[in-house]
Amino acid sequence: MTSPFRRCPDYTSAQVRSAWLLHGFTTLGIVAAMLALRDVLVDRPSYAIIWLLLTLLIDGVDGPIARALEVEKRVPGLDGFLLDLIIDYVTCVIVPACFMFEFKVVPQNNFGIAVLCFMVFTSAIWFARKDMMTDDNWFRGFPAAWNIVGPLLFLLEARTWVGASITIVLSILCLTNMPYPHIARARWAQRYTIVATVCWIGGISVGTLTYPHHYVVAAVLMWAGSAYFVALAGARTLHDRRLRRDNPAAPLRPPDEHLDELASNTADRAPSGSAPERR
């Protein structure tokens, strides 16, 4: 019988310890989710949002570190991807669902419960998708990021019917191939995405720390960030549809690959010793 704690002989004790420390750091996400749920149950929305933002930070940091440390090879007895999925489903779906019901993001009646049941159902399907991400780090379908959507709707004081409608639409999009960028890793328009993400999370943070006061600057940042990601997803969708129409048999490629290919072709056609013209 093998044990997940068995040391891999190809790595030193220090290397294995660093991998285990990272797994422990990842698992702190479920602890933060439990504390967020506690604050939901005792009617402290601002504290719950802070814990949910912390889970978002942990989830964004641990992946790149895990790839750099080759954690999967150093601790082969533990599936870090599966661990991450389990934690993400709790932090991104279950706790936010409780948050959205308790703080009236959706109606506190049977209809609201039905909306949330639909949300957790479609989110579970999305988390089980084997094709959830493209090669250029775009999600296929809405990535069940309810730990952002729920607090965002709450801080913007959306009416319950608006919250329910948006929840239904995004839940349906979980089952589609509509592209949605990975906040940290999507290459296309990455600089703009980073700026928009900082504004977006900054707006949520300001709104949370100043709750129950509602400042215009926080609302502007939250609206601007939301509009950016909707526009970016729409632009990528139109790009993919154009590619399918022009060449149905060709595999979809991200826009930046087309730009690289164009630059390469231009360089090949340019006279020897001259540089391709850039516009």
**CB of 226 within 8 A of CB of 148?**
no
Exposed, middle or buried: residue 181 (CB in 10 Å: 0-12, 13-18, 19+)?
buried
Give me the pLDDT at residue 188, please: 75
Give me the pLDDT at residue 159, please: 94
pLDDT digits (tens, 9 = 90+) for 79-127: 778 888 999 999 999 999 999 999 999 999 999 999 999 999 999 999 9
Exposed, middle or buried: residue 269 (CB in 10 Å: 0-12, 13-18, 19+)?
exposed
Give me the pLDDT at residue 206, please: 92
pTM exceeds 0.85? no
| pLDDT category of residue 6 using cuts at 50, 70 and 90 | low
- Reduced to 3 states (helix: H, G, I; strand: E, B; else coil), residue 36 is helix
C-alpha 165/C-alpha 190 separation (Å) is 30
Q: What is the DSSP string of 110-145?
A: HHHHHHHHHHHHHHHHHHT-TTSB-TTSEEES----
Give me the pLDDT at residue 60, please: 79
pLDDT digits (tens, 9 = 90+) for 194-252: 888 888 899 999 999 999 888 899 999 999 989 999 998 888 888 878 877 777 655 55
Give me the pLDDT at residue 5, please: 57
